[in-house]
Amino acid sequence: FFEKIKTGLEKTKKQLIEGFNKISFGRKIDESLFEEIETVLLKADVGVSATTEIIDFLRKESKKRGITEGEQLKELLKEKLYDILKDCQSSLKLLGEKPDVILFLGVNGSGKTTTVGKLAWMLKNEGKSVVLAAADTFRAAAIDQLEVWANRVGVRIVKHQPGADPSAVVFDAINSAKSKGDDIVIVDTAGRLHTKEHLMKELQKIKRTIQKFSPNQPVETLLVLDGTLGQNSINQAKVFKEATDVSGIVITKLDGTAKGGAIIPICRDLKIPVKFIGVGEGLEDLQPFDAKMFVYALFD
Ligand code: GDP
């Protein structure tokens, strides 16, 4: 697990560590040291507000603890990063309702379908029976692509013709899961962001359909964000957040970006926990977000 995250975060790690390596921590703390740390954090896309909080903490806390050596300041930095990230951490919630419904949102290309496949694989390996609902009926290719994942993982898929009503697909998928006693339905929705009203209407209809079966569902509404966008994904996420309740975020493609630091402003600004991170294209490249591992992976 740890090794996967470590290699997955290689680019972010490089950005941070090479940045930090250029700073000589083997000196006494002075003003320029804080400024150098600040620059590295900003480059890793940690964002202005989180960076300010971190630097303020380092200044105050080093004074308070009587820390004078750069190396000790580095430890303090790790401590602070973990402290912020642990509030961003939350594990997947399941109620065991047979079926629990997990709704996936995200724009096209964010890695949504891939993440649905990876999560299905993860849950299947935990002994759960999973059904995929191809509710992205807007693009024929999306249905086909989900089917490829269903076959790869070895789970059932419920699909309709392209252009069909997404809610009808969701209804059939839950009905089918119910009658067969399946544990989880994962719904892949269309990632269109035409207008907020349109998105809102479609998601509300899907939600009403799900709630015909149980008022407790969907147990999770997960928004998939493309990690290579860094902080730029925040505005996109806000549109989804205004359209529906989002219970968790998945940040994908962290293996392909040096902007992994954006995980901090993403979760802080949106006030939504990060449930998973994607660190590659393979089945096993989805990891529950673990703040401690994340910080260790970056610094070790
Ligand atoms: P969708 O349009 O949102 O459903 O996106 P897809 O699931 O089709 O993913 C878009 C592209 O991103 C595909 O080429 C995926 O293989 C790739 N992808 C998805 N997740 C990851 C990840 O964690 N790491 C990398 N490197 N690529 C990913």
Distances from the Cα of 290 to the Cαs of 2, 47, 178, 261, in angstroms?
10, 20, 32, 14
Asked whether residue 66 is marked as a ligand-binding residue, the answer is no
Distances from the Cα of 241 to the Cαs of 174, 204, 285, in angstroms?
24, 13, 26
Mean pLDDT of the chain: 91
**Does the structure's ipTM exceed the value 0.95?**
yes
pLDDT at 193 over 70: no
Residues at CB less than 6 angstroms from ligand 1: 106, 108-114, 145, 191, 252-253, 255-256, 278-281, 285
**Range with lowest mean pLDDT among 101-115, 192-206, 271-285:** 192-206
Asked whether residue 152 is marked as a ligand-binding residue, the answer is no
Pair type for strands 274-278 and 248-252: parallel
Asked whether residue 248 is marked as a ligand-binding residue, the answer is no
Query: In a mutational test of the pocket of ligand 1, which residue from 252, 276, 277, 284 has the highest number of ligand atoms less than 8 Å from its CB?
Result: 252
The pLDDT tens digits for 6-35 are 777 777 777 776 777 677 778 899 999 999
Higher pLDDT, 140 or 143: 143
Q: Could you tell me the pTM of the whole model?
A: 0.92
CB atoms within 10 A of CB 10: 17
Please give the distance, rounded to the nearest whole angstrom, from the Cα atom of residue 110 to the centre of ligand 1. 6
> Judging by beta carbons within 10 Å of its beta carbon (0-12, 13-18, 19+), is residue 153 exposed, middle or buried?
buried
pLDDT at position 171: 98
Please give the distance, rounded to the nearest whole angstrom, from the Cα atom of residue 115 to the centre of ligand 1. 8
Q: Which two tokens stand for residue 84?
A: 């912020």
DSSP per-residue codes, 77-127: HHHHHHHHHHTTB-PPP----SSEEEEEE--TTSSHHHHHHHHHHHHHHTT
pLDDT at position 144: 95
pLDDT at position 198: 82
Place of tokens 């998105």: 199
CA dist., res. 113 & res. 143, Å (int): 9
Please give the distance, rounded to the nearest whole angstrom, from the Cα atom of residue 144 to the centre of ligand 1. 15
CA dist., res. 112 & res. 251, Å (int): 10
Asked whether residue 258 is marked as a ligand-binding residue, the answer is no
Return the amino acid letter for 196. K
